Amino acid sequence: MNVFVTNRSDTELTVGYNGVMYGFKKNEPVELPVDGAIRLFGYQLKDREHILVRYGWIQLHNELEQGLKKLDQFVITTEKPESNTLLPSRVSVVPLLSEKRVGGKTQSRAA
């Protein structure tokens, strides 16, 4: 059985599992065997501290919460996410600027 891992962080990750290199680019789902997801991301494990240490995301136990937040940015699903689910929300849409000519002068305004 395979799962899909989607990197929601701003940092790309390239790691190997079972002789295969996997590149996790931002917002691109990658198909991975369940065993690989367990080994690389601690999929379905309660204790994932050793994963964080392996990637160098934590060095001390008191950094665990921060490291888990980073690890949680790798979303694991059993079905491939739809490609249109990654569109920005209405809140983050920036209005386009349009130019308007008034009396020989060009003015920029939101469209």
Locus of tokens 């994963």 = 51
pLDDT band at 64 (very low <50, low <70, confident <90, very high): very high
Question: What's the number of domains the chain is made of?
Answer: 1
Give residue 107's pLDDT: 59
- 110 within some domain: no
- Please, how many CA atoms are within 13 Å of residue 104, restricted to the half-sphere of its CB? 0
pTM greater than 0.85: no
Query: Residue 22's domain spans which residues?
Result: 2-79
Mean pLDDT (whole number) for 15-40: 95
- 89 within some domain: no
- 47 within some domain: yes
- Distances, alpha carbon 28 to alpha carbons 8, 72, 75, 86, 110, in Å: 9, 15, 11, 9, 32
Query: Amino acid identity of 20?
Result: V
- 45 within some domain: yes
Can you tell me the distance from the alpha carbon of 88 to that of 36, in angstroms, rounded to the nearest whole number? 30
- 96 within some domain: no
- 33 within some domain: yes
Mean pLDDT (whole number) for 33-44: 96
| Closest C-alpha to 39, from 24, 55, 17, 61 | 17
- 88 within some domain: no
